[in-house]
Every structure is written in C-alpha cells, then in structure tokens.
Amino acid sequence: MSAGVALLRIGSFSWLWRPRTALACAALAGIGLLLAIVLLGTGTLAFTPAEVVGALLGGGDNPMAERVVRGLRLPRVVTAACVGAALGMAGAIFQSISRNALGSPDIIGFTTGAATGAIVQIILFGAGPFAVSLAAVLSGIGTAALVFLLALKGRVTGGYRLVLVGIGVGATLAGVNTVLLVASDLDRSVSAQIWLAGSLTARSWSHAVPAALSLVLIAPIALLHARRLALLEMGDDAASQLGVAVERTRLATVMTAVGLTAMATAATGPIAFIALAGPQLARRLCRSPDVPLISGAAMGAVLLLAADLISQRFPSGFNLPIGLTTGLLGGIYLLWRLTRDEKV
C-alpha cells in the first residue's frame, strides 16, 4: 500500500473508505439534485423537469424558462444548498466538540450573536445588505471568541462548559436583540424582524457566490481536523494521550464552525433546525463512528432544499419565510426525539 493511500485511510477522509457512508452521501446528493430541479420549476411560472434541464444546459426551446430558471431561481437554490451544507457541517463540529446532541450553533448562541450585529446595523444605522451581512459575520466571530474566553478555566474549556456558557451568552444577546427591536422605530424594527425570520426570497448571485466561495474555503479546514475531532469525542484525556493538542484543536474547529455559521447567517438570516438535526440524521443514516462532516453537510443541504420546497408549496398559497419553516420542523423533530426517550 502506498504512503498516500495509507494516509487517506487514517486521515481526514477516512469516510471515503466506508461503503455505507459513501453510498449515503451519493444518495443524499441525488435527492438534493432532484429537489433542486423541482424547486427550479416551482413558482408562479411552473416549468417541467425537461424544461428546467434544458434551461440549465442552454439547449432548451423556451427562452422564458431559461431567463427565469438561470437568472432568478438558480441563485436561490445554490444559496440554499450552500447554506444548508455549511450549517450541517457546523452542527457536526459543535456536537462533536461538546459531545452533546444539542451542541448546535442555534442552541449555543452563535447564531444569536450573528443576529445581534445585523440588528444593530439595521436599527441604529439603517445599513444596506452588504453592511448587514458583514456585521453578522463579525458579530458571530466576536460572540464565539467571547464564549471561548468565558468558558476557559485553567486554560481548559471543556465541551459541556462551552455549551453552558454559550447558552448563557446567547440568552443575554437575545435580550439585547429584543430591547433593540422594541426601542427602535417601527419601520426599522419591521425590517429587522423580516431579516430575523430568515429568507431565501430575492436571493441573487451576489448572495450565492460569496456563500459558495466561503464554503469552498472553510470546509477543507474542517475536513483536515476530522480525525482529531473523532479522537476528541473519546474525551480530552484520551485524545491528549493519543497526541491531539486538545485546546488548539478545539479553538481551530470552533472558529471553523463559527465561520460556516456566520457565512450562512449573513446569506439568509438565522436558519434554525438544520445544524441541529442534519448531523444527527446523517450519523443515523451512515451508522459510522466518524464525525459526520461530509454526510452532515449533504444532509443539511437536502433538509434546507426540502424546507424551501415546503415553504413555497405551503397550503393556502402563503409563502412562509424559510427560517420559520425550519423552526417549525425543528420543534417537531425535538418533540419526536424526546418522546422516544432518547438522550439529547
């Protein structure tokens, strides 16, 4: 066996050597592609799958389909897929670090922190989309740094302490967000509330391209830490004995997950449920001891695309914001987990 193949077997991409995981990822990719085709044909102007494929390939005989599908709907679908994948991967990292199924950026408070920066820009400065997105990214990173520093005790953070501190910081920032919304004038408060609902409406290539580039740039960092994350799940002492720099790995992976979460929040606003359920469902599907980074990302993309389809085809013709749709699904999912008496 060559040195390169041996490195792959023990390194970050060991999931490729597990047939069930590879098959699950391929199946999720296929489901995501089907959902994307259906979404591209869904709307006021409905198109058949054949017309959608023809419009994407540029060989169709329906000019209207090509303009609508490629110019209006494709950026929305690409944004949804990238945001879902980023949240799924971020959730896998947070759950691995905390060794807790509730260790997602929604629960720990990083999403709330990103929202705080956006609300401040909207309410206090009346900023535009770019400034709001930049503020969400910077605020998310700042919240992560604060949580990490507050969780330090004797130069050690600890998974559960990180979760508890994150919940406390998130609750505080949620209160700050509420005060800002109540104290502001009505128009800006409504704008902020719309942003907080999370939305894929009117997403263009100016949203899709940064989301895709951020995912391409940040995801490899997570994959390079996959093996060390798996060892961290055994406990800090065991991981340290196996040669893992525990705190350095925890800091690097937390910041990676925060970057993914902040990018997703900047592109669409806060999206609940995906980071929580995506990695758990992927782990159940793959039945693998590895941290479900790739499968969690694929599951996250599928879940968000499916939620977008549900929101667009909601009964009575009412288009729900995607953040509210995923929030409803997340509540149902949590109730299902609790009624099964499973450890969460």
* Integer Cα distance of 161 and 220 in angstroms: 27
Eight-class DSSP state of 70: I
- Does the structure show a pLDDT above 80 at 337? no
Give me the pLDDT at residue 158, please. Answer: 63
103-107 long-range contacts (CB < 8 A, ≥24 apart) are 103/159, 103/163, 104/275, 104/276, 105/257, 105/258, 105/261, 105/275, 106/270, 106/272, 106/273, 106/275, 106/276, 106/330, 107/163, 107/166, 107/167, 107/170, 107/276
3-class SS shares of the chain: helix, strand, coil, % to 5:
80, 0, 20
Q: What are phi and psi of 231, to 5 degrees?
A: -70, -35
Q: Determine which of 24-38, 54-68, 185-199, 266-280 has the lowest per-residue pLDDT on average.
A: 54-68
Residue 173 has pLDDT above 50, yes or no: yes
Q: pLDDT at residue 185 above 60?
A: yes
Task: Band the pLDDT of 176: cuts 50, 70, 90.
Answer: very high
This prediction has a pTM of: 0.88
The residue length of the chain stands at 344
| 36 residue type, one letter | A
Question: For residue range 276-306, what is the model confidence (pLDDT) as tens digits?
Answer: 889 999 998 988 778 889 999 999 999 999 9
Q: Over the stretch 141-154, which tens digit does the pLDDT of each residue have?
A: 888 888 888 888 76
Half-sphere exposure of 45 (CA within 13 A, CB side): 13
Return the structure tokens found at 285: 């599907």
Residue with tokens 């999206």: 271
Q: How far apart are CA 274 and CA 29, in angstroms?
A: 16
Return the closest-CA partner of residue 116 out of 187, 183, 172: 172
**CA-only gyration radius of the chain, Å:** 20
Q: So what's the pLDDT on residue 8?
A: 38
H or E, element range at 36: helix 19-40
Say how many Å lie between the first and final Cα of the chain, rounded. 41
What average pLDDT does range 258-282 have in this prediction?
89
- Over residues 261-267, the mean pLDDT reads 88
Q: Who's near 212: CB < 8 A, 6+ residues apart? A: 78, 82
| pLDDT over 90 percentage in the chain | 31
Report, as an integer, the average pLDDT of 56-75.
86
Q: Which range (1-10, 108-117, 263-272) has the least confidence?
A: 1-10
What is residue 12's predicted lDDT score, i.e. its pLDDT? 45
Secondary-structure class of domain 14-339 per CATH: mainly alpha
Mean pLDDT, the chain, rounded, equals 84
